[in-house]
A and B are shown apart, each in its own frame.
Chain A
Amino acid sequence: MHWAAAVAVLFVVVTKFLQYTAKYHDKWISQMAPGTELSKKYLVKMKERHELKEFNNSISAQDNYAKWTKNNRKLDSLDKEINDLKNDIQSQNKAFQGHLHKLRLLTITVPFFVFKIVYGKVPVYKLSSSTSALFPTFVTGVWSQGWLYVILHPLRTISQKWHIMESRFGTAKFDAMALQGVSLGIWVWALMNVISGLEFIINQLFLAPQMEPPATVETQAEKIVDILDDAVILD
């Protein structure tokens, strides 16, 4: 395998892994986030609240009014503290998530994009001239030069027709570009399409909830009365 293709596969694997595990990210982030101390404090407070609530439920408010009321006051202040802690944790997580998002952008999204731009035309494998000959020049051109070839293709036609710019966009040179093989850009594009096609099939076959067939309600108008006998009973 060409080294560029291997690097691209690595990027694709990482991107897809992050996509498939998206629902667990919040959990991972909460474990990694610097607000772990706050989270621990939050859990302690929640436990304390639960114990107080249980204790208050276990005693008679009428017989232990003072104790019950003091506990209620504590519960009120605990609720306030818990709410404040929750807000703190949420804002910290949000900030941390923002940093992670930037990190992902800088380490995966942007490098992969730049990689595709810089090495997009690198042929990841060559096609023999006999194989290339099986396909029209336009198709092999797109394979080797990427989608830019579609835009540049009219130039080929124009230069062929009017014999202009022979040196730069000569048809021979242009056709030679089409014989270089399959470029990394097109190869990655094809790979992504295959993966998304597979995702669609797996999703439709195994993951998507099954739809109930529509219930058929027989209305009066749809009711068809079959006439089986045309005999007329006479008086």
Chain B
Amino acid sequence: MDLTVEPNLHSLINSTTHKWIFVGGKGGVGKTTSSCSIAIQMALSQPNKQFLLISTDPAHNLSDAFGEKFGKDARKVSGMDNLSCMEIDPSAALKDMNDMAVSRANSNGGDGQGDDLGSLLQGGALADLTGSIPGIDEALSFMEVMKHIKRQEQGEGETFDTVIFDTAPTGHTLRFLQLPNTLSKLLDKFGEITNKLGPMLNSFMGAGNVDISGKLNELKANVETIRQQFTDPDLTTFVCVCISEFLSLYETERLIQELISYDMDVNSIIVNQLLFAENDQEHNCKRCQARWKMQRKYLDQIDELYEDFHVIKMPLCAGEIRGLNNLTKFSQFLDKEYDPVADGKVIYELEDKE
């Protein structure tokens, strides 16, 4: 039996089981380019399925990467029928929640009390208040996942077979992935309290007729579903992105160890911005040669450390990898590994987007 691991993402790109694919790493290593590339390759190889690429990074780049504007609602990428993108915008989502609260307060507010609440929330007071809570971006991304699961269960609206997350730098992502566990524990504690105080809490909420324990149980069931799906290697995987430099590798190692501790599947590393300078003799750039020597040193270490991982070595291109065409050209090396000799010319062939 051949136990060697392919240096590409062919198996993931053609996977029919994966529902959630996370792409993450240190800032500035090419997470967005890699997530767009994975999404494009999956969409191309499985044209009958629908894919959604969500950016959970507060500093969104999807619109820049594709050269078109995406918002908080999923919108199809121009030129692709089965790939949609969305950028979760915490401030816009909070503004929506605020507006909903205002309209609810106004509709209830024949007695003057509602008017007071409505006027208090006018001008986005709720958004201002909740926007400053640490981790709100991750919480909103998590809510988006929950909405997506609910839609799929109920068969409402547009459903997607696979969701690819272009995540924020490591710290944010780890907090996001910790949320199911944290929420699960929190809801267990809450459950204990509501079991004891349930009738009293419900009578407090009497006017609104909100069944708190019922809502909590529903939320708990949703969180548990997400937790199970995130820890199922057939459904969820994490693709680490890094560059061949010490700090990036160090953060990748930290990320991998954390993900393993969450029982999440992680078996792919994309190493971006490689120079492959020995095959680029015609330009004979001394600086590139020296830098490539350093990159090779770390590549050897990666091969030694992650021998059971798919390590995909991606070239540094001459131009910016922006727009669907450029991304498609670049992304082919995820499906079939980049050969510096045969594919060397591709890195100079990217269209200029300006």
Contact = CB atoms under 8 A, between A and B. Distances in A.
Interface string B297-310: 01011001100000
Interface in A57-88: 61-62, 65-66, 69-70, 72-73, 76
Contacts of A66: 300-301, 304-305
A72 B249 CA distance: 13
Contacts, number: 21
Interface in B276-306: 298, 300-301, 304-305
Nearest to B298: A65
A69 B246 contact: no
Interface residues of B, number: 10
A73 B257 contact: yes
B246 A61 contact: yes
Q: A-B pairs with the 9 shortest C-beta distances?
A: A66-B301, A65-B301, A66-B304, A62-B246, A66-B305, A69-B253, A69-B305, A65-B249, A65-B298
**Which size class do A's interface residues fall under?**
under 10
B307 to A, nearest CB: 10
A76 B257 contact: yes
Contact of B305 (A62, A70, A76): A70
**Main secondary structure on B side of the interface with A:** helix
A79 to B, nearest CB: 12
Interface of A: 61-62, 65-66, 69-70, 72-73, 76
Contacts of A73: 257
Nearest to A70: B305
Interface string B98-123: 00000000000000000000000000
Nearest to A64: B301
Contacts of A62: 246
A194 to B, nearest CB: 56
Residue of A61, A69, A76 ringed by the most chain B CB atoms within 10 A: A69
Which of A61, A66, A72 lies at the interface centre, i.e. has the most chain B CB atoms within 10 A of its CB? A66
Contacts of B305: 65-66, 69-70
Interface of B: 246, 249-250, 253, 257, 298, 300-301, 304-305
Contacts of B301: 65-66, 69
A73 B256 CA distance: 11
B282 to A, nearest CB: 31
A13 to B, nearest CB: 52
A62 B250 CA distance: 10
9 contacts: A61-B250, A65-B246, A65-B249, A65-B301, A65-B305, A69-B249, A69-B301, A70-B305, A76-B257
A189 B246 CA distance: 75
Contacts of A69: 249-250, 253, 301, 305
Contacts of B300: 66
A70 B304 CA distance: 10
B257 to A, nearest CB: 7
B243 to A, nearest CB: 14
A124 B13 CA distance: 96
Contacts of B249: 65, 69
A80 to B, nearest CB: 10
Contacts of B250: 61, 69
Contacts of B304: 66
A73 to B, nearest CB: 7
B271 to A, nearest CB: 13
Given A69-B249, A69-B253, A69-B305, 18 more contacts: A61-B246, A61-B250, A62-B246, A65-B246, A65-B249, A65-B298, A65-B301, A65-B305, A66-B300, A66-B301, A66-B304, A66-B305, A69-B250, A69-B301, A70-B305, A72-B253, A73-B257, A76-B257
Nearest to A76: B257
Contacts of B257: 73, 76
Contacts of B253: 69, 72
B317 to A, nearest CB: 26
A73 B306 CA distance: 13
A33 B14 CA distance: 59
A68 to B, nearest CB: 9
A76 B253 CA distance: 12
A51 B161 CA distance: 50
Which of B250, B298, B300 has most A Cβ within 10 Å? B250
B340 to A, nearest CB: 23
Contacts of B246: 61-62, 65
A135 B49 CA distance: 108
A66 B297 CA distance: 10
